[in-house]
């Protein structure tokens, strides 16, 4: 999983975002990034808020434990996660990708 790695006490997650999707979900892989579909449009930070909410719910961590490190204006984002271990995160992502 090159899109997920440990970085200074946090997890770094590389995402490719698909805005205006029919539902919020992990789609699969997009190159070396995890592809995440969100229903929100990419205007006024709505897609970024949807990404944070989805990841908080998906990983069962508080929204304050999610920080969009780069890509606020881009489909490609680097997100830092705190409050979850690398093993737990991999297990949750693997369940979706293999399911």
The per-residue pLDDT for 99 is 79
Helix (H, G, I), strand (E, B) or coil at 58: helix
Neighbours of 7 (CB within 10 A): 12
| Triad 34, 2, 18: Cα angle to 5° | 15
> What's 29's domain CATH number?
3.30.1200.10
pLDDT in tens, 8-60: 889 999 999 999 999 999 999 999 999 999 999 999 999 999 999 999 999 99
| 52-81: average pLDDT | 97
The per-residue pLDDT for 83 is 95
Range of the domain at 20: 4-98
How far out from the chain centre does Cα 26 lie? 8
| 81-85: average pLDDT | 97
The per-residue pLDDT for 14 is 98
Q: Number of folded domains in the chain?
A: 1
User: pTM for this structure?
Assistant: 0.95
Cα–Cα distance between 14 and 41 in angstroms, integer?
20
The answer to whether 4 and 11 have CB atoms below 8 angstroms apart is yes
The per-residue pLDDT for 10 is 95
Q: Return the percent helix, strand and coil in the chain, to nearest 5.
A: 30, 35, 35
């Amino acid at each position: 999983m090159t899109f997920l790695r440990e970085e200074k006490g946090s997890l770094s997650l590389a995402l490719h975002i698909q805005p205006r999707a029919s539902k919020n979900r992990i789609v699969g892989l997009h190159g070396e990034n995890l592809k995440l579909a969100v229903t929100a449009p990419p205007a006024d930070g709505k897609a970024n808020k949807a990404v944070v909410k989805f990841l908080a719910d998906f990983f069962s961590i508080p929204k304050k434990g999610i920080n969009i490190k780069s890509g606020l204006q881009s489909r490609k984002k680097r997100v830092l996660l705190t409050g979850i271990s690398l093993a737990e995160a991999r297990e949750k992502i693997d369940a979706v990708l293999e399911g």
